[in-house]
Amino acid sequence: MFHTPIVPRKRPRPVEAGVPRREQVKFENVRLYLVERKMGHSRRSFLTQLARSKGFMVEDVLSDTVTHVVSEDSQASALWTWLKGCDLKNLPSMHVLDISWFTDSMREGRPVAVETRHLVQDTVPTFPEGATPTPVATVSQYACQRRTSTENYNKIFTDAFEVLAESYELSEFEGQCLAFRKAASVLKCLPGVVRCLGDIRGLPCLGEHTKSIMEDILQCGRSFEVEKILSDERYQTLKLFTSVFGVGPKTAEKWYRAGLRSFSDILTEPSIHLNRMQQTGFLHYKDISRAVSKAEARALGNIIDEAVHAITPDAVLALTGGFRRGKEFGHDVDFLVTTPELGREKSLLPDIIDRLKQDTESGPRVQREGILLYCDYQASTFDISKLPSLRFEAMDLFAKCFLILRLKGSKVEGGLNSAAEDHRGWRAVRVDLVSPPMDRYAYALLGWTGSRQFERDLRRFARFERQMRLDNHILYDKTKNEFLAATTEKDIFDHLGLEYIEPWQRNA
């Protein structure tokens, strides 16, 4: 539906096409609408021409294709009352901005990232009672523009969404899987519990299907669709099989199709040949499927730090992944390790692995089973001349190793996170070490800190809002055809024109 500006015009003027005719459009994904009220007709025309001359698309009429509404009206309530009366479907995802965003963007010659200070806030609080009101229009569709701590008030919904996402993932329905992950991610940033569907009105990424699941949970305390999935034999079996280290969805599906339903079916089936990773996965199944605690992650950090610094005193070691985001538990512990000397990082992981192996050989006879229980080392295939790559690959090109380490309880403050009946005094833990060259460190740190959804939306934001390519190796500006240098994560946020989000706010 289309709407004319607030103040009715005295004489009808011919409606111009929204896309400038002569000026080149530089920002395909940004469509401005300037509100005439308070701005006045002649100033609006002037600003429209200015923006178009800089490659912006400016729409003459307000419709659902508009992405950024710019107003000079200091009365937020009057503006919002008008906007809400316009029957726009996309209003919740539109940026409603004051003129400062426009002037910043004209000065920079590109649409600057929307910051809180630019927003014309809806003064009517919509969510939730008793908590800080979060005007829905301020919740971005991009996780990298939301601050998401580890505190999730809506676990009852996000857990249900995760089951649906996994089920779709196992059936290779990528779109639906992603839709539920996005919906869960939006709910995770809310400052309180959703008590009725009205609380989520206008939030991005929540479609009809997600809302119907939420409605069931709100009414009955559970979702029948989710319960059906949880009791489905195929889902249960594939979940069980993929919970083994080294078993992906394809292998799990193959085993399921062959009629196998349990671990003993697999282990007693003569035609199945497990690879080394899967053998180790079964061997340490109980340990690896048990969550790793923060104290255990810290203890592993100390062990690796000791090994790394014995090799290179100036090495840099950083904890990444979920623990860097402040999580209490994780499925593994992720570290980045490098050295200031470019090229030296190539031999760093093999040296660290050797050192961890020596731990085995030099120990007393009774402790022959050393710290390194499993190691899969993958050398670097990173080559900047082949970047930026057109596709995003799940795995980056840096040298890395997937390890299983033997962690003694005596090294862990407060003891191991193991079962009460477990008296071994140690447990196996999955550890990932990644070793980027120092000049790639900031990109790798940002990429490995996660969360997956946060990273996905950073890449999506870079691509669709900035015409840039971001991955774990580089940030590339397609409009200038150049790589953008960064030594810190903040540099990358700055290049993208995003407010800096701390690691513990990236739990999207």
Among 59, 169, 332, 455, binds Mg ion (CB under 5 A): 332
Task: Report which residue type is found at 357.
Answer: K
CB nearer to ligand UTP: give 188 or 327: 327
**What's the first-to-final CA gap in the chain, in angstroms?**
33
Name the minimum Å distance from CB 449 to ligand UTP: 7
Interaction between residue 332 and ligand UTP (CB under 6 A)? yes
Determine which one of 98, 122, 287, 332 is catalytic. 332
- Is 432 among the catalytic positions? yes
Tokens 């996309």 -> residue? 90
Cβ-contact 295, 304 below 8 angstroms:
no
Binding range to Mg ion, per CB under 5 A, among 139-147, 208-216, 326-334, 452-460: 326-334
CA angle 245, 454, 319 (to 5 degrees): 60
Window of 108-116, 278-286, 320-328, 350-358 that interacts with ligand UTP by CB under 6 A: 320-328
Give 94's contacts (C-beta < 8 A, 6+ positions apart).
Answer: 66, 67, 68, 69, 88, 137
Three-class secondary structure of residue 196 per DSSP: coil
Q: Taking a C-beta distance cutoff of 8 angstroms, is the pair 385, 405 a contact? A: no
396 binding ligand UTP? (CB under 6 A): yes
Among 20, 111, 330, 503, binds ligand UTP (CB under 6 A): 330
Residue 323 tokens, joined: 């623990």
Q: Which of 73, 334, 396, 457 is catalytic?
A: 334
C-alpha to C-alpha distance for 434 and 397, rounded to whole angstroms: 10
Contact status: 452 vs ligand UTP (CB under 6 A): yes
Q: Give min distance, CB of 470 to ligand UTP, in A.
A: 12
Closest approach, Cβ 140 to ligand UTP, in A, equals 19
- For 31, phi and psi rounded to 5 degrees? -125, 115
Cβ 291 to Mg ion shortest distance, Å: 11
Contact letters (x/-) for ligand UTP, 472-491, by CB under 6 A? x-------------------
Helices and strands in the chain: count of H runs, count of E runs:
18, 14
Among 88, 443, 451, 466, binds ligand UTP (CB under 6 A): 451
Q: Which does 452 bind (CB under 5 to 8 A by kind): Mg ion, ligand UTP, none?
A: ligand UTP
Question: From the list ligand UTP, Mg ion, none, which binds 448 (C-beta under 5 to 8 Å, kind-based)?
Answer: ligand UTP
Min CB(41)–ligand UTP separation in Å: 50
Can residue 222 be called a binding residue for ligand UTP (CB under 6 A)? no
Per DSSP, the residues of 215-276 read HHHHHHSS-HHHHHHHT-HHHHHHHHHHTSTT--HHHHHHHHHTT--SHHHHHT-TT----H
Out of 287, 334, 455, 489, the only residue in the binding site for Mg ion (CB under 5 A) is 334
CA distance 477 to 311: 37
Positive or negative torsion for Cα 404, 406, 411, 415: positive
**Interactions with ligand UTP, residue window 88-147 (CB under 6 A):** none
Residue number closest to ligand UTP, CB atom: 450
Q: Smallest distance, Å, CB 393 to ligand UTP?
A: 8
- Please identify which residue in 26, 331, 346, 357 interacts with ligand UTP, judged by CB under 6 A: 331
Binding to ligand UTP by residue 223, rule CB under 6 A? no
Q: Are 62 and 99 in contact (CB under 8 A)?
A: no
Residues 22, 16: Cα–Cα separation, whole Å:
13
Structure tokens at 260: 């196998």
**List of residues contacting Mg ion (CB under 5 A):** 321-322, 330, 332, 334
Question: Under the rule (CB under 6 A), what is the footprint of ligand UTP?
Answer: 321-322, 327, 330-332, 334, 395-396, 447-448, 450-452, 455, 472
